[in-house]
Amino acid sequence: MRRSRSRVWAAALLMATLMVALSFTGLACATGGAGGSGMSKDDQVRIATDYARQQGIAVEKYKVLSVQSDKGSAHVLFHNENGPPGDHFTVVVDLASRKATRLVPGE
């Protein structure tokens, strides 16, 4: 019983974190595109994955949960389904420069 409650809590926390992140960046909906940048979601995920590796994260443990983009940046959300609550992070990719600009850890 306790384990299922912690999984529900982890899922709720993840969704709340994602909603807060989206509201701060002005991403009201998932359009599926790269905001007119010409960069595919696959490219965004590759750049984010490479950046996370450079930051010392074992990305093999994580699954890409979502890729959200607007005119200026993309947010790639990684989540470890088997990890403890808060075992997720987001990498922000600047679409103009095609470079990752920061990694936001889960809490």
Q: What is the mean pLDDT of residues 15-44?
A: 57
Residue 9: per-residue pLDDT: 54
Pick the more confident residue, 83 or 32.
83
- Is this model's pTM higher than 0.85 or not? no
How does DSSP classify residue 91? E
48-52 mean pLDDT: 98
Instruction: Give residue limits of the domains in the chain.
Output: 2-105
**Is 9:81 a contact under the CB 8 Å cutoff?**
no
Q: Tell whether domain 2-105 is in CATH 2.30.29.
A: no
- pLDDT recorded at residue 37: 64
Q: Which of 24, 58, 28, 48 is nearest to 102 (CA)?
A: 48
20 band by pLDDT with thresholds 50, 70 and 90: very low
